[in-house]
A and B are shown apart, each in its own frame.
Chain A
Amino acid sequence: MRITSRGRVLAPIAAIGVMGLALTACSGGPGGGPGSGGGAGEADGKVTVYGTIADTEAELLEESWKTWEEENDIDIVYESSKEFETQISVRAQGGNAPDIAIFPQPGLMGDLATRGYLKEAPESVVSNIDEYWSTDWKAYGTVDDVVYGAPLMASVKGFVWYSPSQFEENGWEVPTTYQELLDLTATIQQSTGEAPWCAGFGSDAATGWPGTDWVEDLVLRQAGADVYDQWVANEIPFTDPQIKEAFEAVGEILKNPDYVNAGFGDVASINTTPFGDPAGALADGTCALHHQASFFDGFITDAGATVAEDGDIWAFVTPSIDGSGNAVTGGGEIVGAFSDDEETVKVQEYLSSPEWANSRVKLGGVISANTGLDPANASSGILTQAIEILQDPETTFRFDASDLMPSAVGAGTFWKGMIDWINGTDTDTVLEQIEAGWPSDG
């Protein structure tokens, strides 16, 4: 009798035991390395850095601070992820943030800052920003009048890549107004019988972003800088006729089956083409024109072509509507910190210094808007040109709008909207969808 009753007790108890164990297994503390736990990293000789920069770029990044690490006896542990935009907010909300994050989107940094996850920038970093960066760039790392971080690298967007020799053979001219660019497109299409443009929006979870650059270029050129700023702040919604006009203008090229997608297929193939692949099409001549930021220089070099005014491939900045003025969009990274221990502060300080900027730019492929940067250090003609554009006081520079918007739109519905739009959804529906992603509490 006792045995049976004990048996009846044991079964549920065993089940509970197993369940309890399962529960403990699930909720063991943060699984991160040292320095995790809500960013309250202790000074342990290690600083964890998390960002989107991957592969070759990441190796160069680690090389750029190698000597400094040895001099200062701090180990910078860099971790990259193509899912950074998603992971960083999940990690921050889950109390497993890195010491430092390199944000490609100031908007995403702002989301984390206003929710109290980020630490204010230390004084030494702020003084570096004041000394070496323009007020515009300072503003990108500032949320509600509090500075959270310094810029890191930069890129100038809106370059159109082409082959100078091909242009010369056919007598095509580099356009100086936007209408001339459209005329050039028509001319190339008629004389070759092939689509002149190639485009690729594919980028795993970030698919669609190259499309946003097109739209931003057109908004800045057609509607002007003031409208652009209001658009970023959502004072002018996506559904506004001025934004629709920009979409329609992009559509004249990207949704025209006669104009795309050179070397890859029909209009819909834009979504499935990884954004780096057009480099190959440019290099082997199947594609005459491609719209992409200054960093594409590295991709073209990898594809085996030289980037130079007299080389295989060169680029011109997307022309303005009337051929006057010099308005460009660009992007960059902001370095934010989740912890404020001594070592993290030191790393932040170094990353915001001209010493680091020169050290990284010398290694090639990138530029920085740091005014302490010597343009001669840039590795190619395009990058030197890009640095000059950035440092020219006449330039109307505007940061990539999708990167400034809250991540729900800028890294969410705007990207998704571009995909749907290329797949053939009509412009009005897409604009409503994008606008609907705007955060409920502004």
Chain B
Amino acid sequence: MSTFLLWLSTLPALAQVPIIIAAFVALVGVLIFFIEIAPRRGRVYTILRLAACVLIPLLILAALESYTIAIIAAGVLGVLFFWLDYRSSEGAGYLFQLVGFLAPAIVLLIIGLVVPTIQTTIQAFLNARGDTFVGLDNFVWIFTQPQAVRTVLNTIVWVLIAPVVSTIAGLAYAVFIDKSRGEKYFKILVFMPMAISFVGASIIWRFVYTARPAGEQQIGLLNQIIVLFGGQPVTFLAVDPWNTIALIVVLIWVQTGFAMVVLSAAIKGVPAEQMEAAELDGTNAWQRFINVTVPGIRSSLVVVLTTISIASLKVFDIVRTMTAGANNTSVIANEMYTQFKNFEQGRSAAFAVVLFLLVLPIVVYNARQIKKQREIR
């Protein structure tokens, strides 16, 4: 894989694009081909299946450059194709195929997600070099250091403010521009920041917040406005605790567009009959909004809130780019990275576990909501 990419990097930029696309299409084509022929009967297909058993692990080996993964894949594929072959000669069962074909995915999930999670959890109870068991020391360290506690608290502040504000702003905007003239353009305006990466957005906002000493030419937009009105320039990113709010604004700026688009679509899905009935009952606009629209889009609201909550729990790039965690602005993800680069793997992993525990209730709540929805349907 890296050899292929290296060779690719020597080509002119425009030649790289079609090659990448061709490689991608070829891979998808091969996959679809095997999926297509998997359950078929006949000697030709058996040979093809056998070939796949040999080729796919080799491909994985070339792509991932890891023997263990390729060996596991080969083992799994071998057993799987053998069984599939055996079954196909007697008419394949749907369930069996499903299990057979899902196996690689489950294996990949275990390798890529479950194992690292377990490894990280184990690391959280080991020392920095990962060779001695230290019990809860790393967690004790997190919850007894004022700086580390502050990091956890900051993350909680992010999760409390960012999702609520972006959802309310997105919802209000979606309601106000609903069915107005030029709705499309209003939507584009707010949705635009969504297309900017967090790092890009952070750099833009760092310029907005830039402060120059009083009496000098201000290059930061906000401070220029303050100075125009006769105020003193404010160092937005240095004054604790307001600097954390200044960082949260960036996430809100990016995420409001997402909330607005999803909620706008949901509002359009609220049945017109209900609205008319409410109107006939003599309700005003606010009552209609609270009693008809909001219950009608409840499921979308939950999805938007939880999505942004998880995004704000994981926030790293904004903090890293704008303050690198200085002046008490650090959050858990930034601290994980900082501890890792200081060779403190235990503490880094402990932070990761704390983050995992914070995400868990949101995910569980989300899953239960989806389950409820299904029951209603």
Which A residues form the contact surface with B (CB < 8 A)?
A: 5, 8-10, 12-17, 19-21, 23-24, 27-31, 33-34, 85-86, 89-90, 93, 111, 115, 204-205, 207-208, 263-265, 268-269, 271-272, 406-408, 412-413, 416, 419-420, 423, 429, 432-433, 436-437, 439-441
Task: Say yes or no: A89-B238 contact (C-beta < 8 A), given A9-B98, A264-B213.
Answer: no
Q: Are B214 and A265 in contact (CB under 8 A)?
A: yes
Q: Is the CB of A17 within 8 A of B347?
A: no
Is B28 positioned at the interface, with any CB of A under 8 Å from its CB? yes
Interface pair B35/A9, CB less than 8 Å apart: yes
Would you call A436 and B145 a contact (CB within 8 A)? yes
Chain B residues lying within 8 Å of A432, measured Cβ to Cβ, are 146
B141 at the interface (CB under 8 A from A): yes
* CB-based contact A419/B327 at 8 Å: yes
Task: Give the residues in chain A near B180, CB-CB below 8 Å.
Answer: none
Cβ < 8 Å to A, chain B residues 199-243: 211, 213-214, 235, 237-238, 240
Is the Cβ of A263 less than 8 Å from the Cβ of B344? no
Q: Does B105 contact A (CB under 8 A)?
A: yes
A272 near B344: Cβ-Cβ < 8 Å: no
B13 CB–A CB distance under 8 Å: no
Interface: B300 (CB within 8 A):
no
The reply to whether the CB of B139 lies closer than 8 angstroms to some CB of chain A is: no
Choice from B1, B5, B105, B141 contacting A440 with Cβ under 8 Å: B141
A436 to B338, alpha carbons, bound, how many Å?
14
Cβ of A29: which chain B residues have Cβ within 8 Å of it?
1-2, 65
Contacts of B327 in A (CB 8 A): 271, 419-420, 423
Residues of B within 8 A of A (CB): 1-2, 5-6, 24, 27-28, 31-32, 35, 60, 63-66, 94, 97-98, 101-102, 104-105, 108, 112, 127-129, 134, 137-138, 141, 145-147, 211, 213-214, 235, 237-238, 240, 324-328, 338-344, 346-347
Question: What would 28 A/B residue contacts be, using CB atoms closer than 8 Å?
Answer: A5-B94, A16-B102, A17-B32, A21-B24, A23-B112, A24-B60, A27-B64, A28-B63, A28-B64, A31-B5, A90-B341, A204-B324, A263-B213, A271-B326, A272-B211, A272-B235, A406-B342, A407-B341, A408-B339, A412-B338, A412-B342, A419-B327, A423-B327, A433-B146, A439-B128, A440-B344, A441-B127, A441-B129
Residue among B65, B104, B325, B342 with most chain A CB within 10 A: B342
A33, A207, A407, A437: the one within 8 Å of B326 (CB): A207
Residues of B with C-beta under 8 A to A408: 339, 342-344
Assuming the A-B contacts A86-B341, A264-B213, are A13 and B240 also in contact, with contact meaning beta carbons closer than 8 angstroms in the complex?
A: no
Report the 3 A-B pairs with minimum CB-CB distance, sorted nearest first.
A29-B2, A408-B342, A16-B105
B326–A419 CB distance below 8 A: yes
Q: Is the CB of A19 within 8 A of B105?
A: yes
Expressed in whole angstroms, the minimum distance between the Cβ of B184 and any Cβ of chain A is: 31
Flag if A271 contacts B102 (CB, 8 Å).
no
- Known interface pairs A265-B214, A272-B235, A440-B141. Does A12 touch B102 (Cβ–Cβ under 8 Å)? yes
Query: Contact: A28 with B342, CB < 8 Å?
Result: no
Taken together as a complex, chains A and B put the C-alpha atoms of A413 and B324 apart, in Å, by 12
Determine the chain A residues whose CB is within 8 A of the CB of B342 once the complex forms: 89, 111, 406-408, 412, 437, 439
A439 CA to B348 CA in the complex, in Å?
12
Question: In the complex the two chains form, is B214's CB within 8 Å of A13's CB?
Answer: no
CB < 8 Å neighbour of A272 from B24, B28, B238, B328: B238
Tally of A-B residue pairs with Cβ under 8 A?
137
* A contact residues around B340 at 8 Å (CB): 89-90, 93
The residue in chain B whose Cβ has the minimal distance to the Cβ of A416 is B326
User: A115 to B64, Cβ gap below 8 A?
Assistant: no
Query: Which residues of chain B are within 8 angstroms of A264 by Cβ–Cβ distance?
Result: 213
Q: How far is the CA of A89 from the CA of B342 in the complex (A)?
A: 8
Tell me the complex Cα distance, A86–B334, Å: 12
Q: How far is the CB of A241 from chain B (nearest CB, A)?
A: 21
Q: Are B341 and A89 in contact (CB under 8 A)?
A: yes
Whether B101 lies near A441 (C-beta < 8 A) is no
A147 to chain B, nearest CB (A): 21
Q: B1 to A28, Cβ gap below 8 A?
A: yes
Q: In the complex, are the beta carbons of A205 and B341 less than 8 A apart?
A: no
Q: Is the CB of B213 within 8 A of A21?
A: no
Assuming A15-B105, A408-B344, A420-B327, what are 8 further A-B pairs, CB within 8 angstroms? A10-B35, A12-B98, A13-B35, A208-B326, A271-B235, A271-B327, A429-B146, A432-B146
Complex CA–CA separation, A28 to B64 (angstroms): 6
* Cα–Cα distance between A28 and B343 once the two chains are bound (Å): 24
Contact A9 B1 (CB under 8 A): no
Chain B: which residue is nearest A17 at the CB level? B31
Measured between C-beta atoms, what is the minimum distance from B21 to chain A in Å? 13
Q: Which residue of the partner chain, among B94, B237, B341, contacts A9 with CB atoms under 8 Å?
A: B94
Contact between chains at B346 and A440 (CB < 8 Å): yes
In the bound complex, do residue A440 and residue B2 qualify as a contact, i.e. CB atoms below 8 Å apart?
no
Q: Name the distance in Å between B141's Cβ and chain A's nearest Cβ.
A: 7
Q: Which residues of B contact A9 (CB under 8 A)?
A: 35, 94, 97-98, 101
| Given contacts A24-B1, A28-B1, A416-B326, A17 and B343 within 8 Å (CB-CB) | no
Known A20-B108, A28-B63, A268-B238; contact A441-B147, beta-carbon cutoff 8 A: no
B324 touches A24 (CB 8 A): no
> Residue on B with the closest CB to A410?
B342
Most B CB contacts (10 A, CB to CB) among A30, A86, A408, A440 go to: A440
B103 to chain A, nearest CB (A): 10
A440 with B137: in contact, given A13-B101, A264-B213, A420-B328 (CB under 8 Å)? yes
- The distance from the CB of B238 to the nearest CB of chain A, in whole angstroms, is 6
Q: How far is the CB of A109 from chain B (nearest CB, A)?
A: 12
**Chain B residues, CB < 8 A from A205:** 324
Closest chain A CB from B102 CB (angstroms): 6
Given contacts A9-B97, A419-B327, contact A269 B213 (CB under 8 A): yes
Does B238 lie within 8 Å of A440, measured CB to CB? no
Chain B residues with Cβ below 8 Å from A429 are 146
Closest residue of B by beta carbon distance from A277: B213
Alpha-carbon gap, A34 to B3, bound state (A)? 10
- Beta-carbon nearest neighbor of A422 in chain B: B238
CB-CB under 8 A for A16 and B104, given A24-B1, A29-B2, A268-B238? yes
Asked if B240 and A423 sit within 8 Å, CB to CB, the answer is yes
Which residue in chain A gives the minimum CB-CB distance to B24? A21
Give chain B residues whose Cβ lies under 8 Å from the Cβ of A265: 213-214
Considering the chains assembled together, what is the distance between the CA atoms of A440 and B345 in angstroms?
Answer: 10
Q: A6 to B222, alpha carbons, bound, how many Å?
A: 59
- The closest CB in chain B to the CB of A29 belongs to B2
State the Cβ distance, A253 to closest chain B Cβ, in Å.
19
Contact status A28-B2, CB under 8 Å: yes
Output the least CB separation between B376 and chain A (Å).
23
Contact A271 B5 (CB under 8 A): no
Among residues of B, the one whose C-beta sits closest to the C-beta of A111 is B343
Q: Contact between A89 and B343 (Cβ–Cβ < 8 Å)?
A: yes
